[in-house]
Chains A and B, each alone.
Chain A
């Protein structure tokens, strides 16, 4: 909720203490269905320590938009951050003597913005400054769109002048959704049936992506000094992160569910990996994260410090989008905006082996900590190899997912299951009928639609069943979990309900392999 958010904005990163909101007791008392209570659902952590900031996922994202204006940003940035800004401002004089370094890896965006192809893209995303200067476009070049973005800003300002906020425009099969997050304005344009809320959720992600590169403090600082600043200079070479995030938003259930998924791994092996990470600690180390591709192997955190799933997804996006951590060890400042929009953490990012999928991320508060983090990694590897868990981990990498055949419920095609208290979800491979990219994206679109119904701000549904021509869908939300299921169009509601029970039993049986039941702290 709000208190949590306010707190986030006012702590500096070296002494932040974000206590989880403990809703367990009250929920348990209120719930009429024992067993379906948050904290006891399949996949819930055994101990009461969740890994993530305990937030009502979707609402947490969109509630901010409602919170309206007037939220002053934290003025007391730490000395270190101020110093970094100073360097940046000093640098500007030099930099302005000649034009920006064009990034050679820049996308091929030479698309004619007046063409029919450009218009017919299913979803456009634009980011602009409050002065109406283009910052980002998903398709085409920003330069070519400066007048279009000018019009967008004019719309925003016109409505604002009347002390109102423009939310969306619906016209000609198009939805135009606005998100004003000073000093940025984000605009999404879609021709799909995606709801306004879902599009707004995606715009928030893009906003956080930009903040994670620069910090909000730096963004505000820049635009306070120069309203007309061309932010593309600072984002040059990072556009592909935003491109990739937009792609993920269309395909990754984790971003929809506000959750992450785990590498299936025997409980015992995961515990060894976790405790090896736990032992490799250091004074300024806040989070140790081990990833296998887009799957979490384990996450160990400093006591009382929680990572938000959005921040974790931004880390996933950074690691997954770049080949630069493949060679050697990466060391980069990174802002985790849901933790603190004002400051940078410093992340040590490296793969356990050059060709491996296993990527270790060590997040420190100290920018001078490179060699300490490198040493932590060595200690982790040493423990891991000693206890033969590395072999088990490598075995597990061979089957990073599971098929519906293994689940063994013939009438069920596919599902998403999220344990609310742990913030983790599980989902099988796409079955044969959803092999193509288009079909997978279509199914994700259907899940999004279900999600919209379950999280509709004024009339949220608990249970939703829909028969379609190509599939039947069921969605169910309880205090403990969210469940989205896809059945053959020949299935019936009665079959669907019995499948849910079978599935919940199966997940309960497999939960120690599919989820992280014993998250650790240093």
Chain B
């Protein structure tokens, strides 16, 4: 808090540990799909804050963001963490429409969630245009390997049969989380970043500071919306 960087439309705000070299920021829509309780929200929380805590079932969906810096570009992941409960299935297509990346999540200790992931895949294949979406099959709860009901080979086989990428993760331990996000980032940029109309550029919002109102008005220079 307190540090206020001037916002330049179309340019990223840089983390202090990187060089002050402005790079382009592109928007990536990423959707998490899968059965109730496989750990979609926990994965999302790891991506965004690298934290773990037990959560109540997601209602509708949750929207979170995380910027990933690659060597020559920044990707702003706009993550749609959907509810696994059946009553929300009727609205889920709203969220995966136009997604650049889909994480199809199952729980390696529950076979039926793996079956369910295949049903989601069938749904997805009805809607998506090949080459416009990168789909990742994610076996979560790798920390429960002693209760494993779905083998690594099975996951790998399904992924290679259907042209998906595959990884096992543990949102609980944090294992393979940043690897997954980076892998998705590279793959999405590779497949869609250079493509015409693939990824759109991120336009910065005015920075809203709820804490330091007594200092100079942070809106005077960069206010785009409002009064």
Contacts and interface: CB of A to CB of B under 8 A. Distances in A.
Nearest to B208: A381
Given A101-B35, A237-B85, A379-B225, A332 B210 contact: no
B57 A237 contact: yes
A327 B55 CA distance: 10
Which interface class (under 10, 10 to 19, 20 to 34, 35 or more) fits A? Answer: 35 or more
B21 interface: no
Nearest to B45: A327
Interface in A187-235: 213-214, 233-235
Interface stretch (B89-97, B146-154, B158-166, B193-201): B89-97
Interface in B124-138: none
A416 interface: no
B90 A332 contact: no
B226 A379 contact: yes
A390 interface: yes
Given A329-B62, A367-B94, A101 B116 contact: yes
B90 A85 contact: yes
Contact of B87 (A94, A234, A386, A391): A234
B89 A378 contact: no
Interface residues of B, number: 51
A237 B63 contact: no
Please indicate which of the listed interface residues B84, B90, B113 has the most CB atoms of chain A within 10 Å of its own CB: B90
B62 A325 contact: yes
B89 A332 contact: no
A166 interface: no
B37 A103 contact: yes
A385 interface: yes
A3 interface: no
A429 interface: no
Contacts of B58: 324
A384 B58 CA distance: 29
Nearest to A326: B55
Contacts of B56: 105, 240, 321-324
B206 A87 contact: no
A465 interface: no
B61 to A, nearest CB: 6
A383 interface: yes
B60 A103 contact: no
A395 to B, nearest CB: 13
9 interchain residue pairs of minimum CB distance:
A332-B60, A104-B37, A328-B64, A237-B85, A237-B57, A87-B90, A88-B90, A234-B87, A324-B58
Given A321-B56, A322-B56, A333-B60, 4 more contacts: A101-B37, A101-B85, A105-B36, A381-B210
Interface of B: 35-37, 41, 44-45, 48-49, 55-65, 79, 81, 83-91, 93-94, 112-113, 115-116, 119, 122-123, 205-206, 208-210, 213, 217, 219, 223, 225-227
14 contacts: A85-B90, A91-B86, A94-B122, A101-B112, A102-B36, A105-B57, A214-B87, A238-B87, A279-B227, A322-B56, A324-B57, A328-B81, A381-B210, A386-B213
